[in-house]
Chains A and B, each alone.
Chain A
Amino acid sequence: MYNTRVRGVLIKGNKSFADVSRDIIKPMDDKTPMWWWVTAFLATGALFWGVWGFYNTISTGIGEWGLNNNVAWGWAIINFVWWIGIGHAGTAFSIFLLILRQKWRTSINRAAEAMTIFAVMAAGLFPLIHMGRIWDGFFIFPYWNTRGPLWDNFNSPLFWDVVAISTYLMASFVFWYMGMIPDFATIRERTTSKMKKKIYGILSFGWIGNARGWLRFETAALLLGGMAAPLVVSVHSIVSMDFSVSVVPGWHTTIFPPYFVIGAIFSGFGMVLTLMIILRKLYKFKDYVTDGHLDAIARILTFISLIMGTAYLTELFMAWYSGNEYELFTFMKNRVTGEYTFAYWTMLTCNAFIPQLFWFKKIRKNITIVFIISIFINIGMWFERYVIVVTSLSKDFLPATWATYEPTITEIAIFVGTLGLFLLGVLMFFRFVPTVAISEVKSVLKETTTLKSFTDE
Chain B
Amino acid sequence: MNNRNIIGIYDDQDVLLNALDELQENGVKIKDVYSPIPLHGVFERLHLKTRLPYATFIYGAIGVVSVFLFLYWTSVVSYPLKFGGKPLNTLSFIIIMFVLTIFVGTLFTFLTYFIREKMFPGKQVELPIPETTNDKFAVLIEKEVTMTEDDLKKVNSLLQKTGAVEIKETE
Q: A residues engaging B (CB < 8 A)?
A: 16-18, 21, 142, 148-151, 153-155, 159-160, 163-164, 166-167, 170-171, 174, 178, 182, 185-186, 188-190, 201-203, 205-220, 223-224, 227-228, 230-231, 234, 238, 439, 442-443, 446
> Among B35, B106, B110, B127, which residue has the most Cβ atoms of chain A within 10 A?
B106
Distance in Å from the Cβ of B35 to the closest Cβ of chain A? 6
In the complex, which of the residues B13, B116, B123 contacts A205, with contact meaning CB atoms closer than 8 Å?
B123
What is the bound-complex CA distance between A151 and B74, given in angstroms? 7
Distance in Å from the Cβ of A302 to the closest Cβ of chain B? 31
What is the bound-complex CA distance between A206 and B125, given in angstroms? 6
In the complex, which of the residues A18, A160, A201 contacts B134, with contact meaning CB atoms closer than 8 Å?
A18
Are the C-beta atoms of B83 and A155 separated by less than 8 Å? yes
Given contacts A224-B109, A227-B105, list 20 more A-B pairs with CB under 8 A. Answer: A154-B93, A154-B96, A155-B86, A189-B130, A189-B131, A190-B130, A205-B123, A206-B125, A209-B35, A209-B133, A210-B34, A211-B48, A214-B35, A214-B43, A215-B43, A219-B50, A219-B53, A228-B106, A231-B102, A442-B37
Segment 7-60 of B: residues with Cβ below 8 Å from A: 13-14, 32-39, 42-43, 46, 48-50, 52-53, 56
What is the bound-complex CA distance between A159 and B74, given in angstroms? 15
Closest 9 CB pairs of A and B: A206-B123, A17-B135, A443-B37, A189-B130, A214-B38, A151-B74, A205-B119, A18-B135, A220-B113
Query: Can you name 10 A-B pairs with beta carbons within 8 Å?
Result: A17-B134, A167-B103, A178-B113, A185-B133, A189-B131, A206-B120, A209-B127, A210-B33, A219-B50, A223-B56
In the complex, which of the residues B46, B90, B127 contacts A155, with contact meaning CB atoms closer than 8 Å?
B90
Are the C-beta atoms of B79 and A170 separated by less than 8 Å? no
Q: B residues engaging A (CB < 8 A)?
A: 13-14, 32-39, 42-43, 46, 48-50, 52-53, 56, 70-71, 74-75, 78-79, 81, 83, 86, 90, 92-93, 95-96, 98-100, 102-103, 105-107, 109-110, 113-114, 116-125, 127, 130-135
Q: List, in ascending order, chain A residues with CB within 8 A of B96's CB.
A: 154, 159-160, 163
Are the C-beta atoms of A209 and B34 separated by less than 8 Å? yes
Are the C-beta atoms of B135 and A223 separated by less than 8 Å? no
Name the CB-closest residue of B to A171. B106
Q: List, in ascending order, chain A residues with CB within 8 A of B92's CB.
A: 154-155
Q: List, in ascending order, chain B residues with CB within 8 A of A210's CB.
A: 32-34
Q: For the complex, would chain A's binding face be called helix, strand, loop or mixed by DSSP majority?
A: helix
Q: List, in ascending order, chain A residues with CB within 8 A of B105's CB.
A: 223, 227
Name the CB-closest residue of A to B113. A220
Distance in Å from the Cβ of B44 to the closest Cβ of chain A? 10
Name the CB-closest residue of A to B84. A155
What is the bound-complex CA distance between A391 and B164, given in angstroms? 70
Quick one: given A155-B92, A178-B110, A201-B122, are A160 and B99 in contact (CB under 8 Å)?
yes
Are the C-beta atoms of A223 and B35 separated by less than 8 Å? no
What is the bound-complex CA distance between A119 and B50, given in angstroms? 35
Quick one: given A155-B86, A227-B102, are A17 and B36 in contact (CB under 8 Å)?
yes
Q: List, in ascending order, chain B residues with CB within 8 A of A234's CB.
A: 95, 98-99
What is the bound-complex CA distance between A207 and B124, given in angstroms? 9
Are the C-beta atoms of B106 and A170 separated by less than 8 Å? yes
Q: List, in ascending order, chain B residues with CB within 8 A of A182's CB.
A: 36, 133
Quick one: given A155-B86, A174-B107, A215-B38, are A167 and B99 in contact (CB under 8 Å)?
yes
Q: List, in ascending order, chain B residues with CB within 8 A of A219's CB.
A: 50, 52-53
Distance in Å from the Cβ of A376 to the closest Cβ of chain B? 33
What is the bound-complex CA distance between A393 and B53, given in angstroms? 47
Are the C-beta atoms of B119 and A202 separated by less than 8 Å? no
Q: List, in ascending order, chain B residues with CB within 8 A of A148's CB.
A: 78-79
Q: List, in ascending order, chain B residues with CB within 8 A of A17's CB.
A: 36, 134-135
Name the CB-closest residue of B to A150. B79
Quick one: given A154-B71, A211-B32, A218-B38, are A205 and B120 in contact (CB under 8 Å)?
yes
Distance in Å from the Cβ of B107 to the closest Cβ of chain A? 7
